[in-house]
A and B are shown apart, each in its own frame.
Chain A
Amino acid sequence: MRKGLFIFMIVLLLATMTFATFNWRKFAGQTITVLFVKHPFTEAILPYISEFTQKTGISVSFLVLPETEYWDKLNIDLSSGQGSYDVFMTGPSIEWQHAYAGWIEPLDSYVKSSELTSPDYDFEDFYPAFTAANRWNKKIGGGLGEGHLWAIPVMVETSILAYRKDIFDKYGVKVPETYEEWRKVAAELAEKAKSENIYPVIQRGARDITSIQAGYYTAFSTYGAKDFDENMNCTINSPQGVKITEIWVDTIKKYGPPDWTNVTWFDLMERFASGRYGMVVDCDFFAGTYENPKKSKVAGKVAYALPPKGPDGAIRSNIWTWALSMNARSKHKEAAWYFIQWVTSKEMLLRSALYGNLDPVRKSVWENPKVVEMTEKWGGGTWRKVVTQMLEKYAAWRPTPQTELIAMWTRWIEALHEIYEGKATAKEALDKAAKDIDKIMERAGLK
């Protein structure tokens, strides 16, 4: 009996030794500095950093900043060439600037190296759409999903339709499946559900690029419109672009809150949670707030559906994905990679998902029983079903790669405001904006 146990232990020890050949302590003694955005991902990770230090012997010092301030600080540090932050959070459009400027390190060789990457890392586990969003071959106007990998994603958000099932059911309103229906449903709600004292729709609209990125860009690309043609001429004023923009702004103006031009992403989320709105096409992970009775008055009353389809029946949701990049000027690149690798491992991404860092970018995390348990009841089961389809089929990063995205989108949202305020028709406003955007591209030498 005792002998048996002894042999068993020896076997176990040998087994561990064979499988655990990956040396996590190769860079022990080094210190890396990480810049984080204030985000559920960060909040989930911070308590475990001591585990990383124990495991690898690498010390981590870090700074956490809210998003706007984060970009300012990061931009100033990167452009000054100080290389103060070895690892930092980023996203596709920002990577384009950083890759173009040569500020970030391509990560392919690290992922592929068996020296530097643990065999259980399982890169194939990431949904392909979201690693593709972080790949680019540095050619303006194309090459998305090709060339180097510039960052490893840690979360993704897609745009879905959230609606007040209680109100829709009560008044026999159908869930819209196209954008034309969406406008009609809004009108119906305005008429039938008057006594509910709600605005039928809410969308983001503040003068900020995030107002373009989520719901609007999803509608825009779903409708078959594109931001640029192959010669980098701005095409937001194409017939499809004008048509969907007209539907979008007109619906919001007639059936949305009167201060749309001021609604930021968090206004949108808080207000929908406050129970005064009928439906919204925006971030899927806001469900975490909607379904939490402590923060929301609509918990249990919301259902979720795919975003409306385009004229060709397709859905092309835009995404945002937070990811981790490595500074090209880092003096501890391998240690930095160890950190990225550890943070984006199955185990850590699972922990962060359970903390509320949704949606997961790894299939294994999305399908993990604990994550299923956490999310399966949302929207009476509709949320999980919808988001699974989004992750596997409909969601991708849509904009054309270029470095002037922020300037361009700022001009774009101004055009939407002009239409909203009745200062111009959709066609006039977008024509003018397209002309200005062409100028922005010329000035940056991209055309």
Chain B
Amino acid sequence: MYRKGKWIFVLPAFMILAMILYPFGVGVYYSFTNYRLIFPVIRFIGFRNYIDAILSQDFWYSLKITVFFTAMSLAIELMAGIGIAHLLSRKFKGIGIIRLLVFTPMMIPPVISSMIWKTMMAPDGVLNYLLSFLGAPKIQWLSSSDIALFSVALINVWIYLPFTTLILLSGLESLPQEPFEAAKVDGANSMQIFSYITLPLLKPFIILVILFRTIDSMKTFDIIFSTTKGGPIDSTRVLQLAIYEEGLKWNNMGYALSEIMLLWLMIYLFSQVAFKSFFGKGASS
């Protein structure tokens, strides 16, 4: 009797999401065709697009900088996120307003905050202006092909650190109290408590952050498009930007979709790993 009932819990969510299967299926089909937006005759060409993509240097180059961008952003976000979540989990008067303020960067659409970051990162922009008081030389934040990728990663971190922090904070707040009390009774110091109790208990939330921030960083588009448009040269041409250019700007939709599907597949495989560890924890508890 229960078994039957269980499905009802999941059904609505599935029905809502399943409607996307048709457009997605069409997208998969297009990726096996020579579909060009401005060329109306669509022909099935098998794995041709996929082979072209895998053999092209551009694809691997874009993938490489996308992975680099993602790893860099994720590492900073995760470390800073745990620290900030910890700070915000302290209880004192006024913590409510501090929490709210820390979350505000999320509330401006990335398309727009990135544009404003671009003005701030101009050679005569406010960042270099403020740094000049510290005696720092002018930094070519976005206009040097050696630095631009770091700068866009910094913007990425600024926008999404609140996301990481909020998830980890909600995790911290929901941890059971007993292990902490027991540890205190045993005389553990705060460092020991953090590494032996907090971190392991926080694991599902950390995995959640890794999962979502990896997925979203691999798909980054707005931030790059509003700042460097992939330049200087092609130093910030992340995969999603390359796909956008191929598909919508250069009209090679079939090819672009094959790149999308490859990206999809990679995220899929990565998520499987993260996912296993998520449920691994769930099963043991």
Residues of A within 8 A of B (CB): 68, 71-72, 75-76, 79, 97-98, 100-103, 206-208, 257-262, 267, 276, 403-404, 406-407, 410, 413-414, 417-418, 420-421, 423, 444
Contact = CB atoms under 8 A, between A and B. Distances in A.
Contact of B231 (A79, A206, A276, A404): A206
The 6 closest A-B pairs by CB, nearest first: A207-B231, A259-B143, A261-B232, A101-B38, A407-B250, A262-B143
B231 A414 contact: yes
B123 A258 contact: yes
B258 to A, nearest CB: 14
Contact of A407 (B39, B118, B233, B249): B249
B263 interface: no
Contact of B228 (A262, A407, A423): A262
Given A258-B138, A261-B231, A75 B37 contact: yes
Interface in B167-190: none
Give the residue among B123, B144, B251 with the most A Cβ atoms within 10 A: B251
Taking chain A's interface residues, is the majority helix, strand, or loop, or is none over half, making it mixed? helix
Contacts of B138: 258
B241 to A, nearest CB: 10
A444 to B, nearest CB: 8
Given A207-B230, A261-B232, A417 B145 contact: yes
Contacts of B140: 258-259
A40 to B, nearest CB: 21
A421 B232 contact: yes
Contacts of A206: 228-229, 231
Contacts of B143: 258-262
B173 to A, nearest CB: 40
A219 B138 CA distance: 31
Contacts of B260: none
B24 to A, nearest CB: 16
Contact of A97 (B227, B230, B232, B251): B251
A410 B233 contact: no
Contacts of A407: 245, 249-250
Contacts of A208: 229
Contact of A207 (B37, B123, B229, B250): B229
Contacts of B37: 75, 79, 101
Contacts of A404: 250
Given A259-B123, A259-B143, A421 B233 contact: yes
Contacts of A403: 38, 251
Contacts of B282: none
Taking chain B's interface residues, is the majority helix, strand, or loop, or is none over half, making it mixed? loop
B232 A79 contact: no
B228 A207 contact: yes
B25 interface: no
Interface in B221-251: 225, 227-234, 245, 248-251
B109 interface: no
28 contacts: A71-B249, A72-B248, A97-B38, A101-B37, A101-B38, A101-B40, A206-B228, A206-B229, A207-B228, A207-B229, A208-B229, A257-B123, A260-B143, A261-B231, A261-B233, A262-B142, A262-B227, A262-B231, A262-B232, A276-B124, A403-B38, A404-B250, A407-B245, A410-B249, A413-B231, A414-B233, A417-B232, A421-B232
Give the residue among B118, B143, B230 with the most A Cβ atoms within 10 A: B143
Nearest to A436: B58
Interface string B125-148: 000000000000010101111000
B93 to A, nearest CB: 45
Contacts of A103: 38
Give the residue among A258, A259, A267, A410 with the most B Cβ atoms within 10 A: A259
A421 B145 contact: yes
Contacts of B251: 75, 97, 403
B71 interface: no
Interface in B65-123: 118, 122-123
A88 to B, nearest CB: 15
B56 to A, nearest CB: 10
Contact of B38 (A79, A261, A413): A79
A103 B228 CA distance: 32
A37 B122 CA distance: 27
Contacts of A276: 124
Nearest to B38: A101
B207 to A, nearest CB: 35
Contacts of A420: 232
Nearest to A259: B143
A258 B128 CA distance: 13
A101 B39 contact: yes
Contacts of A72: 248
Interface string B15-38: 000000000000000000000111
B38 A259 contact: no
B227 to A, nearest CB: 8
Nearest to B249: A406
Give the residue among B40, B227, B233 with the most A Cβ atoms within 10 A: B233
A102 B40 contact: yes
Contact of A410 (B124, B145, B227, B245): B245
Interface string B247-264: 011110100000000000
Nearest to B236: A207
A98 B40 CA distance: 11
Nearest to A415: B233
Nearest to A408: B250
A68 B221 CA distance: 14
Nearest to A405: B250
Give the residue among B40, B228, B232 with the most A Cβ atoms within 10 A: B232
Interface string B144-159: 1100000000000000
